Amino acid sequence: MSRRVTARDDIAAVIALYKANHVLREISAQTGVALRVVQNLVKRFCDLGEDELPAPLPKSGRPKLLSPRTLKVISRQVRSNPSLTAHEVKERNPRLLSHVSLRCVQQALHDDLGFKSFRARRKPLLTKRQKENRVKFCKKYEVWDLETWRRHVNGVRTSCASWSHEQTTQSKEQNFAESSTPHDEESFDHGTEDGEAQLRSHILNAALPFVHSYGWSPDAIAQGAETLGYSSMVHGMFPGGGVELVNHFYSTCNTILEESLKAKVKKVEEKPELKTGTTAFIANAVEERLRMNIEYIDSWHKALALHASPRNTTTALHNLGTLVDHIWYHAGDRSTDFNWYTKRGILAAVYKSSELCMLQDKSEDFQVLNIVGMNSKSRF
């Protein structure tokens, strides 16, 4: 940062260098005078046409904003800590420098106190030692390809998950969560979409027991992930939050019901005398599916509220449509006309109304399900 001319000695030094045929930039660099000031001095010297030195320009007459006492305080601070910047000096002295601009403080440090300006050195992203360690690491494992690294990382994750799973006590809720998964595995191929889907399903299964304490929320997902040995931050894999846990439980129950209906149909094929009417088959299927919600009935109203959100309506309708389609298909419906939609619409209305009745039912073993079965038979 160059300074302005303050004395005749500076003017004499500038003119002497000019007479010695120095370039203006060299004069400014050697004397520390601003280049614009050097240009003005040389111009005034040439206009005079004599060996007389240009006189210093008169001052404006305005008093200095910084008093000698303030300059002493600033000088003492900068000498004790040379790395201080003008901005830091201004922040350290709010009472003395509140009426002064940052530019004025910079000029005072350079012109009045004679401190040289400097720019802080940028620290490298990696130190020399860190670079050396990284080079050693790369040389040690340079023969490994991407597939080898992937197998190694996945193996470490799988071993951690398996160890944590063995250490976890198998409670009643965890037994239900594990039995409700069609493909419950301890190892996943994280490099593929199927592996990621299996991992998500495994975490959501582990999160179901925590719904009683944390509700249908990301906190329950985080707790489930921790029981499997993963970080609680893994809930970032579920951008939908708690509604993804609701959808997982809903689809898992639908899958369990479908397997149960398949087993019943197969049993009837083996023993035709066990066959019941279509109405009774549908009523029993609806009751069986509703009883799967009993374990979480205390918080099921919150799950329904999440499904009622406009952004989750599509998924909720898909789950409900899958449920009624499974029931009608295994009941023997093969219609391809408009009755296909009518039957499923009526069954969906029966199921949802029954689900809402269960929320208000306080009877033992949910006696309302018997009434629901009677209503279903009357409708079908």
d(CA 302, CA 246): 10
Phi-psi region of 321 (alpha: psi -120 to 50; beta: other; left: phi over 0): alpha
Q: Phi, psi at residue 33, to the nearest 5°?
A: -90, 145
CA 107-90-76 angle, to 5 degrees, is 75
Q: In a structure prediction context, what are the per-residue pLDDT tens digits for the chain, which is 380 residues long?
A: 455 555 778 888 888 888 888 888 898 888 888 888 888 888 888 888 767 788 777 766 677 788 888 889 888 988 888 888 888 888 888 888 888 888 888 888 887 787 877 666 677 788 888 888 888 877 777 676 777 766 666 665 555 554 455 555 444 345 444 444 443 444 455 445 566 788 888 888 988 999 988 899 888 888 888 888 887 777 678 888 888 999 999 999 999 999 999 998 888 888 888 788 888 888 888 888 888 988 888 888 888 888 888 888 888 899 899 999 999 988 888 888 888 889 889 999 988 888 888 888 777 766 655 655 545 444 54
pLDDT the model gives residue 148: 73
- Confidence (pLDDT) at 177: 47
Torsion of CA 43, 45, 48, 49, to 10 degrees: -100
164: nearest Cα among 173, 172, 174: 174
**CA–CA distance, 230 with 342 (Å, rounded to integer):** 46
Q: Which two tokens stand for residue 118?
A: 């400097």
User: Within 10 A of 315 (CB to CB), how many other CB atoms are there?
Assistant: 18
- 3-state SS of 3-17? ECCCCHHHHHHHHHH
Residue 209 in contact with residue 177, Cβ under 8 Å? yes
The alpha carbon dihedral of 106, 107, 110, 114 has a sign of negative
Closest CA to 183 of 173, 165, 195: 195
3-state secondary structure the chain: CCECCCCHHHHHHHHHHHHCCCCHHHHHHHHCECHHHHHHHHHHHHHHCCCCCCCCCCCCCCCCCCCHHHHHHHHHHHHHCCCCCHHHHHHHCHHHHCCCCHHHHHHHHHHHCCCCCCCCCCCCCCCHHHHHHHHHHHHHCCCCCHHHHHHHHHHHHHHHHHHHHHHCCCCHHHHHHHHCCCCCCCCCCCCCHHHHHHHHHHHHHHHHHHHHHHCCCHHHHHHHHHHCCCCHHHHHHCCCCHHHHHHHHHHHHHHHHHHHHHHHHHHHHHCHHHCCCHHHHHHHHHHHHHHCCHHHCCCHHHHHHHHHCHHHHHHHHHHHHHHHHHHHHHCCCCCCCCHHHHHHHHHHHHHHHHHHHHHHCCCCCCCHHHHHHHHHHHHC
Q: Is the pTM of this model over 0.85?
A: no
Instruction: Tell me the residue type at 73.
Output: V
Rounded Cα–Cα distance for residues 142 and 138 (Å): 5
What is the Cα–Cα distance from 374 to 365, expressed in whole angstroms? 16
User: Which residue type sits at 166?
Assistant: E
CB 83 within 8 A of CB 119: no
How many Å apart are CA 248 and CA 286, to the nearest integer? 19
Residues 6+ apart with CB under 8 A from 155: none
**What CA–CA distance (Å, rounded) separates 88 from 101?**
13
pLDDT of residue 249: 92
CA distance 196 to 210: 22
